Structure 1
Amino acid sequence: MTADEAGTAPPVQGACYVYGVVPEPEDHTSALDLPGVGDPEAQATFVGHRGIAAVISAVPTDRPLGTPEDLHAHARVLDSLAASTTAVVPFRFGTVLPDVRTVVEELLEEGRDEFAEILKRLHGQAQFTLRARYVQEAVLREVLGENPAIARLREEVAAKDEDASYYQRVELGRAITDAIAGKRETDTAEIQRRLAPFAVATAHAEPAVAEGVVNASFLVPQEKWAAFEKAAEELAVQWHGRIQLRLLGPLAPYDFVDEAASETEEGR
């Protein structure tokens, strides 16, 4: 449905869950063969207006959203679009508007120029997220092998009871933590050196676990997806048994929309 098709039945009756915004497809009646948020029977579809379109599905309003299934459904719709090379501006989970008319008039019409510019900047690109964590036993062996003083302190601590070695245990823990931090810095730089050349932008977040090495996202043009994945696989082989790597993607550009929006504002 477009703003000019007032006589056409809207693709969704009632409240609309909004996943994000994409370029307007030629076929407004097309639907994604994926379960919608809040209602697995409600497929995601498009409502277009002046060259852009919202990705929406019918959503029940008689219960709160937020189950694991809801979260997964939200991500699946957005990531399937990104994997199909469709530029997408992903919305935060939980965006609900009262009806299709509101989607068109208050979302697409009011934000049309900004959305169009952001989509232009994100065209042909998708996010890949790399999460890496140390294999604890392996990295501890490295630390002890490379730092004789730490190894000796560990032996001294092991020879004493807990009360007598309390302060030495604190010192040992601090020394090991500092040594691993140094390794983390080196390994993060190596990941950046090997993968960043394939990306147009990168973003870093704090690892979610203590043994985490890196939690990094890369905005990668479609023509470099295969090369990027190959480079990540080579790292995984090189660090097998030492660092566990998990590569997610292609994903919607969750970590790069704000940057694209800022560039759009600066360009005005």
Structure 2
Amino acid sequence: MNGRGTPAEERACYVYGIVPKGVDSSGLEGIGDPPARVGLVPHRGLAALVSAVVVDGPLGTAADLKAHARVLDTLAAHGPVLPMRFGGVVRDLGAVIDELLAPHEDAFLRALEDLRGTAQFTLLGTYQEEHVLREVLADREDIARLHMDVAALPQEATYYERVRLGEMIAREIASLREADTLETLERLAPLAVAVKASPSADAPGDRAVSASFLVRKDDWDAFEKAAEGLARQWSGRVALRLLGPIAPYDFAGDAVEARRTDEGADRPWG
């Protein structure tokens, strides 16, 4: 019971990620309202970034997601970090060591070393609808002709033609997306040590490109300039957004998997 006669809240440890022991976490604020102070749970050469969380409390608000990323990205700008999936809750400080750090110690240490001096940059591109439609109509005379025919008739009289037109335009945009993704990788991949591009088939209709790059710190400036050059080239056609340097969300799992010694365990990171 607390001093006001109400049941004490049961608390657990929320884990943000894994870092080398000795990292400075002072001043970091994590999830919760008010934000919880982030601390370290050390084990040999490792440490887990944690904060207290109410066991039965709400988790997963937009503010929590931002706080989770903010903690990891702040540290990723200065050293290696292995991000945990959002929502990683462990029973107590002892369980952080016994269930997370100790069983994966070797894999975590080696993965952190592999990621040292790198950070992730993610490039997201969205097609500007009017521009890309003009591009499709200019390249495909049959689509342009159908587009004009449909526009000249009442909507209720052209239902099937409109469906067909939409499907044809969608296929053309899918082809453009593949070409634009290839150009993005040709321009930026030489500046990265690893690349992950989202499959074109999984992209939203207006998505031009979605790719993540693991980049060494010495190449951050060159990478950003190359991305800026691509943005200038596609100005008015594709709106590009570059996120980074951020924690290696898309690469940490592979780094740990490559270094694992206990093949059968679940992967808690990523």
TM band (smaller chain): 0.7 to 0.9
Q: State which of 29, 36, 39 in structure 2 corresponds to 1:45.
A: 39
Look up the match of 1:191: 184
Partner in structure 1 of residue 108 of structure 2 = 115
Name the counterpart of 1:67: 61
Q: Which has the higher contact order (CA 8 A, sep 6+)?
A: 2
Contact 2:17–2:72 under 8 Å retained in 1: yes
Q: Percent identity?
A: 52
Other-structure match for 2:175: 182
Separation (CA, whole Å) in 1 of partners of 2:257 and 2:94: 28
Secondary structure of 1:210's partner? coil
- What does 1:114-193 align with in structure 2 at a 5 Å threshold? 114-193=107-186
Asked if the contact 1:14–1:100 (Cα under 8 Å) also holds between the matched residues in 2, the reply is no
Quote the residue 1:91 is aligned against: 84
**RMSD over aligned Cα, in angstroms?**
2.0
Query: 5+ residue gaps in structure 1?
Result: 1-12
Partners of 1:15 and 1:144 in 2: how far apart?
Answer: 58
1:175-197 deviations in Å (ceiling 9; x for gaps) = 21222222111111110111111
Conserved? CA contact 1:18–1:57, under 8 Å: yes
Deviations along 1:151-189, one digit per CA (max 9) or x if unpaired, are: 111111122223432332222222212222221111111
Q: Which residue of 1 aligns with 2:258?
A: 263
Describe the shift of the 1:107–1:265 C-alpha distance in structure 2 as closer, same or farther (beyond 3 A).
closer
In 1, distance between residues paired with 2:167 and 2:56? Answer: 52
**Cα separation, 1, equivalents of 2:68 and 2:194:** 24
Match for residue 17 of structure 1 among 14, 18, 37: 14
Shift of 1:40: 3.5
Aligned to 1:174, what secondary structure does the other structure show? helix
3-state SS of 1:241 partner: coil
Structure 2 SS opposite 1:263 = helix
TM-score (norm 2): 0.86
Regions of 4+ moved over 3 Å? none
**Which letter does structure 2 place at the counterpart of 1:198?**
L
Letter aligned with residue 189 of structure 1: L
How far residue 67 of structure 1 moved from its aligned partner, in angstroms, is 1.3
Gaps of 5+ in 2: 1-9, 264-270
Corresponding residue pairs, total: 251
Q: Does 1:220 align with 2:219?
A: no
Q: CA deviation at 1:105?
A: 2.7
